Amino acid sequence: MQDIHRTIPATLAALTAALFTLCVFPMSASSQEDPDGEARGGGFFQGGYMQLDLSELNAALTAAGYPALGEDFATLGGGGFGMKGRFLLGGEGHALIGSDETTADGATQLELGGGYGLFRVGYLAYTLEGLDVYPMIGIGGGGMSLSLVDRSAPTFGEVLTDPRRSSKLSIASFLLDASVAAHYRFAIEEATPEPAEDDEPGGVLVGVQVGYTFAPGSSSWNLDAINTVAGGPDLAMEGFYVRITIGGWGG
């Protein structure tokens, strides 16, 4: 399993580097479209995979007798964008869905999840017959929460006597992001008696996006979003991701 964890980030890094190379050295002789001055926009849904480094958090959990948490997360989210010529502005948000673990005695369940949002700026570096490739940078923020839930089935009186049956530890981060997206636009022609030759009302958008999210700076833990908790382990929403994009676009 550790070999797989090493291979996935390395593969994504190589793919990101290859796409960045394509963007930096676009094959202008093969491009048959001139997007300068063109305006369009769209919205999309994304689902994918992200891996975070939980080594310090897991060290703290195992030292306290809890099971370690998995570092693989599913991501679900979406966003929208607008383009003028080759420049893109957009925003998106994503939820991170991790696995849950239960202590050996079955008394406590641990869950780790989170989410973040980004404002993006991009540049259309390559386009050919509906295929668009553009690098993007993003800035935003997000947070992670660790829930420790008592799985016992208490009586009503026991809850009144001891109402603290669970705790939620949360941490927030400032985020930077670098990615490359490759999208293909399927045009849907309007059923008009005399459509214009250059009429592109819009259509379906599909593609893939790979990138890396950075979490510069430090953050502190909070208990139930009220009290600051000192001495917590580092947990950065930082790592490689790959996502599939499905949506729509319009000119």
Percentage of residues in the chain having pLDDT higher than 90: 51
Q: pLDDT (tens digit, 9 = 90+) per residue, 164-220?
A: 678 888 999 999 999 999 999 988 866 555 555 555 578 999 999 999 999 998 788
The phi, psi pair for 200, rounded to 5°, reads -130, 85
At 1, is the pLDDT very low, low, confident or very high (cuts 50, 70, 90)?
A: very low
| pLDDT at 87 (0 to 100) | 94
- Between residues 224 and 134, the one the model is more confident about: 134
Taking the alpha carbons at both ends of the chain, their separation in whole angstroms is: 46
At 157, is the pLDDT very low, low, confident or very high (cuts 50, 70, 90)?
A: confident
Tell me the H-state helices in the chain: 2-24, 55-63, 156-161
Q: Is 68 helix (H, G, I), strand (E, B) or coil?
A: coil
Q: Is the pLDDT at 93 greater than 50, yes or no?
A: yes
**Residue 207 Cα to chain centre, angstroms:** 15
Which tokens go with 74?
């599913």
Cβ contact 137:131 at 8 Å:
no
**Residue 91 Cα to chain centre, angstroms:** 12
Euclidean distance between CA atoms 87 and 181, whole angstroms: 14
**Closest by CA position to 74, among listed 216, 235, 214, 244:** 244
Fold for the domain defined by 2-20+40-250: Porin (2.40.160)
**Closest by CA position to 54, among listed 33, 73, 30, 81:** 73
The phi, psi pair for 56, rounded to 5°, reads -70, -40
| pLDDT at 66 (0 to 100) | 92
Q: Among 131-135, 145-149, 188-192, 241-245, which stretch is predicted with the lowest mean pLDDT?
A: 188-192
What pTM does this model have?
Answer: 0.78
- Between residues 16 and 36, the one the model is more confident about: 36
Find tokens 């580097």 and name the residue: 17
Tell me the H-state helices in 134-208: 156-161
Which tokens go with 161?
């006597």
- Amino acid, single-letter form, for residue 142: G
Q: Is the pLDDT at 118 greater than 50, yes or no?
A: yes
